Amino acid sequence: MSDGVAYLQTTTAIRERCQNVLAATRASKSRWFTVNDAALAGAADKVADVTRQRYPTLNIPYHSRWRHFEPGGLDRRALLDTALGDVSPAEKARAHIDLAVVSVLLDAGAGAAWRYVEASNGQTFTRSEGLGIASFHAFMQGTFSSDPSQPLRADANGLKALNAERLAPVFQVAADNPLVGLAGRTSLMQSLGAALASQRQWFGSGMRPGSLFDALTDYGSRNSIRADEVLAALLRGLGSIWPSGHQLGGVALGDCWQHPLAGGTGATTGWIPIHKLSQWMTYSLLEPFEWAGVQLTDLDALTGLAEYRNGGLLVDSGVLIAAPELLSQGYAPSDEPIIEWRALTVALLDELAPLVRAALGPSATNLPLACVLEGGTWATGRALATSLRGGEPPIRIVSDGTVF
């Protein structure tokens, strides 16, 4: 792997390039956004207020896919653990990782019209929670396993065999219940299967995401790992699944885009790595490792997540002032204004987090970025979008189900 590719797979690169875009925007070099620094304190106060409402004791968990398995008063993790039976902590971790990886990759924007009704209780869920609960039940039914005798897993052959016709019922897709990006999600599952089969150093002979537990703990000999080690493993093991097609030196770059304000030198000039889904996946794997007794360190090496709830918070609270044309038409994730919006989101979340901590009291050690996001920025962005537009983001994204 070239030095340039290795650099673009680091959170250092994400921060440096996103901060370049922020600095250029503050210098009035952007055609799409203006930064209103005076609004940052007000945005932090909004986030602090929402955080106190959601977590009055400030005992805040990580921003993680596991939160989306919790709505409706049902302990779905306990359901999975009961179904797994008397297995080792390592095997339980493998199953938890299998579920989290698959569910994260299915967690792109669902669209405002989609709903999921949970059969066991008749409760209706939408958006990320609905997608999470739907994918949970699919996992419990063995949808992602190729072995009927071991349904509670995801493996290469099971994922490669998926198609839209099999995935649609999982999400209760119908003419009156459309899901945005079903084809993109299906393709991502198939690509995940291919990556699991080809990257045996990470995913083992079982060709399942859960084998990352063995690879990163040296088969149980390590009980402490850095959060960015998890991200690096995901970027290297799953780099081929991302559909952007961007490459450097023949290596797939994934969620990495060119932008005129990105800066840099050499072969990486102009590239902005964001790796949103990979980092969302990393945040979602922290707990499975910890539940198995492995300590995760350096959590704040990870960045904020560049998606439309966090980005929407910044627009709706007045921190980012968008050019009028951005509010009147749709854009693809590959379009320059969306790349810029995402980069600004990452950089400004790093500035917002200390202000939120100051308003709430805990230190960075006790309230890492993963908890600020959960408390936090994502929920505040959703609340503002709901009050202002019925839940839609301020800038409309034409999604294929693979980035957002």
Residue 402: its pLDDT value, please? 59
393-397: average pLDDT: 93
Q: Is the pLDDT of residue 261 over 90?
A: yes
Instruction: Compute the mean pLDDT over every residue in the chain, rounded to the nearest whole number.
Output: 94
262-266: average pLDDT: 95
Residue 244: its pLDDT value, please? 64
pLDDT band at 248 (very low <50, low <70, confident <90, very high): confident
Its pTM stands at 0.93
pLDDT band at 403 (very low <50, low <70, confident <90, very high): low
pLDDT band at 206 (very low <50, low <70, confident <90, very high): very high
Kindly list the domain boundaries of the chain, sorted by start residue. 3-395
pLDDT band at 241 (very low <50, low <70, confident <90, very high): confident
Residue 400: its pLDDT value, please? 60
pLDDT band at 325 (very low <50, low <70, confident <90, very high): very high
Least confident of 85-89, 181-185, 299-303: 181-185
Q: Is the pLDDT of residue 27 over 60?
A: yes
d(CA 15, CA 302): 9
Q: Is the pLDDT of residue 392 over 70?
A: yes
Task: Give the range with max mean pLDDT: 2-6, 84-88, 183-187.
Answer: 84-88
Q: What is the pLDDT of residues 229-240, one digit of tens each?
A: 999 999 999 988
Residue 398: its pLDDT value, please? 85
218-224: average pLDDT: 93
Residue 250: its pLDDT value, please? 82
* Cα dihedral 278→284→288→293 (10° resolution): 90
pLDDT band at 42 (very low <50, low <70, confident <90, very high): very high
d(CA 392, CA 404): 13
Q: What is the pLDDT of residues 265-288, one digit of tens each?
A: 999 999 999 999 899 999 999 999
Residue 184: its pLDDT value, please? 86
371-386: average pLDDT: 96
Residue 239: its pLDDT value, please? 82
Q: Is the pLDDT of residue 404 over 90?
A: no
Q: What is the pLDDT of residues 127-147, one digit of tens each?
A: 889 999 999 999 999 999 999
pLDDT band at 243 (very low <50, low <70, confident <90, very high): low
